[in-house]
Amino acid sequence: MELRTRTFWVLFFLLQVLAGPAEPAENLEFFLPGDYLLGGLFTLHANVKGTSHLTILQVPKCEEYDMKVMGYNLMQAMRFAVEEINNQSGLLPGVQLGYEIVDICYQTNNIQPVLYFLARTNYFLPIIKDYSYYIPRVVAVIGPDNSESTITVANFFSHFFLPQISYSAITDQLRDKLRYPSMLRTMPSASHHIEAMVQLMLHFRWNWIVVLMSNDDYGRDNSQLLRDRVARGNDICIAFQEVLPTPQADQVATAAELKQLESIVRKLKQATARVVVVFSPELALHNFFHEVLRQNVTDIVWIAPESWAADLVLHNFTGLQNTGTFLGVTIQEVAMPGFSEFRVRRPEAQPERPPNNTPRATCNQECEACLNITKSFHTVLTLSGERVAYCVYSAVYAVAHALHNLLHCSPYHCAKKTVYPWQLLREIWKVNFSLLGNQIFFDEQGDVPMHLDVVQWQWHLRQNPFWSVASYYPTQQQLKMVSNISWHTYDNSVPMSMCSKNCQQGQKKKNVGIHPCCFECIDCLPGTFLNQTADEYECQSCPGSTWSNRKETSCFKRKLAFLEWHEAPTIFVAVLATLGFLSTLAILIIFWRHFHTPMVRSAGGPMCFLMLIPLLLAFGMVPIYVGRPTVLTCIGRQAFFTLCYSVCISCITVRSFQIVCIFKMASHLPRTYGFWVRYHGPYVFVALITALKGVIVASNMLTTTINPMGHTDPEDPSIMILSCHPNYRNGLLFNTSMDLFLSMVGFIFAYLGKELPNNYNEAKFITLSMTFSFTSSVSLCTFMSVYNGVLVTIMDLLVTVLNFLAISLGYFGPKCYMILFYPERNTAAYFNSMIQGYTMRKD
Ligand SMILES: *[C@@H]1O[C@H](CO)[C@@H](O)[C@H](O)[C@H]1NC(C)=O
Ligand SMILES: *[C@@H]1O[C@H](CO)[C@@H](O)[C@H](O)[C@H]1NC(C)=O
Ligand SMILES: *[C@@H]1O[C@H](CO)[C@@H](O)[C@H](O)[C@H]1NC(C)=O
Ligand SMILES: *[C@@H]1O[C@H](CO)[C@@H](O)[C@H](O)[C@H]1NC(C)=O
Ligand SMILES: *[C@@H]1O[C@H](CO)[C@@H](O)[C@H](O)[C@H]1NC(C)=O
Ligand SMILES: *[C@@H]1O[C@H](CO)[C@@H](O)[C@H](O)[C@H]1NC(C)=O
Ligand SMILES: *[C@@H]1O[C@H](CO)[C@@H](O)[C@H](O)[C@H]1NC(C)=O
């Protein structure tokens, strides 16, 4: 409420001030009488935002500033639209639309035209409580062009619900319809412009950019929008940003300004970022680009926002094409037939203003030089096509359509009734019509969703200087390239602007500094891989049975290692096993043939076969160590050989026991001896030991697993070794512990019987066998604790085969030798003589 009161005081005060002497000249271009007047706010003359005009209590004289051709072009578009509507019989039949246009001089002349439009025809703005039925001079206002002026103006007009349609103010603040209920525009908002820019950068993979901004709302707001957008996307980084100095009103650069510009341009020249976004009104850029040209900057991609994306004056700077590629984001181009001729047409004599108004016409409605200067730009303006001019044109048409609906026009006649601004505003929100191929309607934010173009600046004569290369569709948020860009690079290649080059396949990123775009590339180590979709910054380790080389994006299945036939160690052991098998077979046959001889009997008689057959089987089963382990071969490897071994060892032990103790047992413990003989004590003992060993082996297997397990080869991680026991060494120790114990017992008996005749004395052999088995087991375990590769299996096999060979050749070999080569010693008589000799020695 207080704000409103204050506004009115300001209005009142200013009206008093402005009621001074009015401009004498009447310019026909600025005024057209009609039944309903539209206000128009354009920038025909421009000054850099200066405050010098606020030091005197006068409206600034715009004609003192440089003329702005683009502004005049837009004003002509409004005049063109009104004239076209008045010519047409279909829209507003019988109604004459008029206009009142004021040059706002960029930002220096905002308030005076506002008051002028709000006041009645007699320059009187009443201070009243209720403006619902107040009729201002104009029914709607078109403009102004820049965001700052638009916000200033909209603050006033919103109090009166006076419809205001801006044609190029893009700031997002204006989307707030609670603050600016009567403000609409025929241009997409700034966030769409920013999104188009970002998508352009992403399309060309530019992620390292420089942002330059003017020291005003335009620069600050838009660069903030861009910063927010890239922070959200996390795919573009801003190398640095600089604020451009605000030039003097007369555009003459001061020493301080030059120094600042020089350092900015020097920094730009040295930067690795080659893409530069410049958020600034075009007027503040003249000095900047002079400095850019002076320092011979080249190879930059300049990205221009709406404010200078299609600026003819900057485009006309000599030598600018050598500084790089210029890309601008601006509104789409729409051809407006007839406008090109209209633009440079000298206004015809118009009817005079109503006499009572004549002396008090508002100021800044003159531009003597406009037409002549615009004529000099005629060719290039025609080549450029209409972009923002169409926004002005469609804004006028939107008001006309709303008025048409409000006046309930039939095809021939309109009811020319009084129009209150709020009534018209309601109708403007509802319009939806087609104009030169585009559907014009306002979305919830009061914007017309026109699409945007990315234009490339060109300097070839007779060509559109702002050539469309891409289109951005706000509703789909999508950028489509429509034409190739001719890059200002020596081979027309797309310029690069990246902080770090993309990593190669299989390299992870490591951030350097704070920007996500700057990183080092580090190879993923063997055994890890990079899943780019999941995480670019961390290599993941390969799962279970897979492995990878350095710098990989996936893992391969590890090579399985197991014993194979064609390998030299396998062949060696196989040959040993074959020899063992053949010699054991030979021994078996020899023993069979000489079964009844004393040598065989002393060796254990039938028990020899109990040893020889498992030995034969064990040698024959050696092939199950070769090839890929399966559950069956694992059971075989872990159980079969060790059972065979236990049978042999227990046989030997029980024989030593019998030789040494059987007589003592017969004399001292006759009952036990009776049992021993009656129940075939040795066989029971062997069966018991075997059963015990079976239990040990089974429990060992059951407590772990019988499935073959894979583990990594310590020397080459890309190889996986398949083995039968997760902890082979402990399993082995466990399995052989009882064998060792039996060997020990056997050794003790053998030692006790060391005095026996040679042919009964096995102490040597058992000592040998036990020592061998013991040392081989110990060395195998030692070997395993330092080495875990595939050789473990072959060592295990070798030790097993050698243990069996030791029994086969060491125990049976000498006996066979005697049988074959000393048959005279293999007689009962010889044995008897030996025993007699022994007993005599004992006595
Ligand atoms: C309007 O009609 C007049 C007279 O026919 C013509 O000279 C003028 O070019 C027309 N204007 C437009 C904008 O069509
Ligand atoms: C720019 O180039 C011109 C001619 O090539 C040279 O005279 C001038 O010194 C250069 N300026 C700078 C700042 O390097
Ligand atoms: C515009 O140009 C015409 C001739 O081309 C000339 O007669 C007229 O004086 C010029 N007007 C101004 C304001 O310079
Ligand atoms: C462009 O600049 C040149 C001088 O730099 C000037 O003579 C000319 O009038 C300007 N405008 C056009 C449209 O060429
Ligand atoms: C405008 O009119 C067109 C066709 O007449 C229709 O397809 C579109 O949905 C309308 N838009 C709105 C916002 O009403
Ligand atoms: C761009 O140029 C390439 C070859 O240089 C061509 O194949 C492609 O069609 C062109 N694209 C457009 C949109 O013109
Ligand atoms: C990579 O990660 C994605 C997402 O986490 C997943 O869908 C995909 O399967 C992974 N690819 C590989 C090869 O692991």
Ligand 7 mutation pick, 508, 529, 531, max ligand atoms within 8 A of CB: 531
Ligand 7: nearest atom to the Cα of 553: 13
Report the C-alpha gap between 651 and 674 in whole angstroms: 20
Q: Among residues 213, 500, 451, which one has the least CA distance to residue 333?
A: 451
User: Which ligand is located closest to the Cα atom of residue 319?
Assistant: 4
Report the C-alpha gap between 306 and 70 in whole angstroms: 13
Report the C-alpha gap between 512 and 527 in whole angstroms: 25
What is the predicted pLDDT for the residue at 552?
85
373 pocket-lining for ligand 3 (C-beta < 6 Å): no
| Type and span of the H or E element at 114 | helix 111-118
299: left (phi over 0), alpha (psi -120 to 50) or beta: left
Ligand 4 mutation pick, 286, 316, 381, 461, max ligand atoms within 8 A of CB: 316
Assign a CATH topology to domain 2-187+362-441.
Rossmann fold (3.40.50)
Q: Please report the DSSP string for 383-395 in residue order.
A: HH--SHHHHHHHH
Ligand 3: nearest atom to the Cα of 369: 13
- 316 alpha carbon – ligand 4 mean position (Å): 6
What is the DSSP-derived secondary structure letter of residue 830?
A: H
534 pocket-lining for ligand 7 (C-beta < 6 Å): yes
What is the predicted pLDDT for the residue at 644?
84
Q: Among residues 491, 69, 495, which one has the least CA distance to residue 272?
A: 495
Strand duo 45-46 + 507-511: pairing: unpaired
Report the C-alpha gap between 215 and 245 in whole angstroms: 7
Tell whether domain 190-334+451-481 is in CATH 3.40.50.280. Answer: no
Ligand 7: nearest atom to the Cα of 531: 1
- The residues, any chain, with a CB within 8 Å of residue 743's CB and separated by 6 or more, are 649, 653, 766, 769, 770, 773, 774
* Residue whose pair of structure tokens reads 């003097």 in the numeric block: 248
755 pocket-lining for ligand 3 (C-beta < 6 Å): no
Report the C-alpha gap between 666 and 659 in whole angstroms: 12
- 392 alpha carbon – ligand 4 mean position (Å): 26
Report the C-alpha gap between 825 and 801 in whole angstroms: 31
What is the predicted pLDDT for the residue at 749?
77
Ligand 2 mutation pick, 261, 291, 293, 296, max ligand atoms within 8 A of CB: 296
Task: Please name the residue whose Cα sits nearest to atom 7 of ligand 3.
Answer: 372
Ligand 2: nearest atom to the Cα of 295: 13
What is the predicted pLDDT for the residue at 784?
74
372 pocket-lining for ligand 3 (C-beta < 6 Å): yes
- What is the model's pTM? 0.72
348 pocket-lining for ligand 1 (C-beta < 6 Å): no
* CATH, range 568-842: 1.20.1070.10
543 pocket-lining for ligand 7 (C-beta < 6 Å): no
Task: Please name the residue whose Cα sits nearest to atom 3 of ligand 3.
Answer: 372
293 pocket-lining for ligand 2 (C-beta < 6 Å): no
Task: Please name the residue whose Cα sits nearest to atom 12 of ligand 7.
Answer: 531
Inter-residue contact 725 to 709 (CB < 8 Å): yes
Strand duo 237-244 + 208-214: pairing: parallel
514 pocket-lining for ligand 7 (C-beta < 6 Å): no
Task: Please name the residue whose Cα sits nearest to atom 10 of ligand 3.
Answer: 372
- At 278 the three-state DSSP class reads strand
357 pocket-lining for ligand 2 (C-beta < 6 Å): no
Task: Please name the residue whose Cα sits nearest to atom 4 of ligand 2.
Answer: 296
- 490 alpha carbon – ligand 6 mean position (Å): 18
User: Which ligand is located closest to the Cα atom of residue 262?
Assistant: 2
358 pocket-lining for ligand 7 (C-beta < 6 Å): no
Ligand 2: nearest atom to the Cα of 296: 1
86 pocket-lining for ligand 1 (C-beta < 6 Å): no
What is the predicted pLDDT for the residue at 4?
53
- 531 alpha carbon – ligand 7 mean position (Å): 6
- 485 alpha carbon – ligand 6 mean position (Å): 9
Name the token pair of 82: 């009104």
Report the C-alpha gap between 281 and 184 in whole angstroms: 22
- 432 alpha carbon – ligand 1 mean position (Å): 25
pLDDT along the chain (843 residues), means of 10: 50 46 53 92 79 75 86 94 92 92 88 91 87 93 90 93 94 92 93 94 93 92 94 89 85 86 94 94 90 92 94 90 94 94 79 51 82 90 92 96 94 91 94 94 92 93 89 93 90 89 87 86 88 86 84 84 80 88 88 81 78 85 81 80 82 79 74 79 84 83 75 75 68 71 77 67 68 76 72 79 81 81 78 74 64
Report the C-alpha gap between 722 and 264 in whole angstroms: 67
376 pocket-lining for ligand 3 (C-beta < 6 Å): no
Report the C-alpha gap between 293 and 741 in whole angstroms: 98
- 296 alpha carbon – ligand 2 mean position (Å): 6
What is the predicted pLDDT for the residue at 690?
85
601: exposed, middle or buried (Cβ count in 10 Å: 0-12, 13-18, 19+): middle
Q: DSSP alpha helices (H): ranges in 161-216? A: 190-203
* Residue whose pair of structure tokens reads 């800044």 in the numeric block: 364
Dihedral sign, Cα of residue 281, residue 287, residue 290, residue 295: negative
Report the C-alpha gap between 556 and 572 in whole angstroms: 33
User: Which ligand is located closest to the Cα atom of residue 291?
Assistant: 2
Extended strands (E) in 33-72: 36-42, 45-46, 66-67
- 484 alpha carbon – ligand 6 mean position (Å): 6
Report the C-alpha gap between 306 and 321 in whole angstroms: 19
Q: Same CATH topology for 2-187+362-441 and 190-334+451-481?
A: yes
- At 656 the three-state DSSP class reads helix
- 86 alpha carbon – ligand 1 mean position (Å): 9
- 249 alpha carbon – ligand 2 mean position (Å): 29
User: Which ligand is located closest to the Cα atom of residue 269?
Assistant: 2
What is the predicted pLDDT for the residue at 306?
92
Each residue of 433-480: pLDDT tens digit? 999 999 999 999 999 989 999 999 999 878 889 999 999 999 999 999
Ligand 3: nearest atom to the Cα of 372: 1
Task: Please name the residue whose Cα sits nearest to atom 2 of ligand 4.
Answer: 316
Encode 536-574: b = buried (16+ Cβ within 10 Å), e = exposed: eeebeebeeebbbeebbeebeebeebbbeeeeebbeebb
What is the predicted pLDDT for the residue at 727?
63
**Domain coordinates in residue numbering, the chain:** 2-187+362-441, 190-334+451-481, 507-557, 568-842
606-620 and 641-668 helices, crossing angle to 10°:
170
Q: Among residues 326, 281, 309, 340, which one has the least CA distance to residue 453?
A: 309
Q: Dihedrals φ, ψ of 171, to 5°?
A: -55, 145
Report the C-alpha gap between 421 and 411 in whole angstroms: 24
Task: Please name the residue whose Cα sits nearest to atom 2 of ligand 2.
Answer: 296
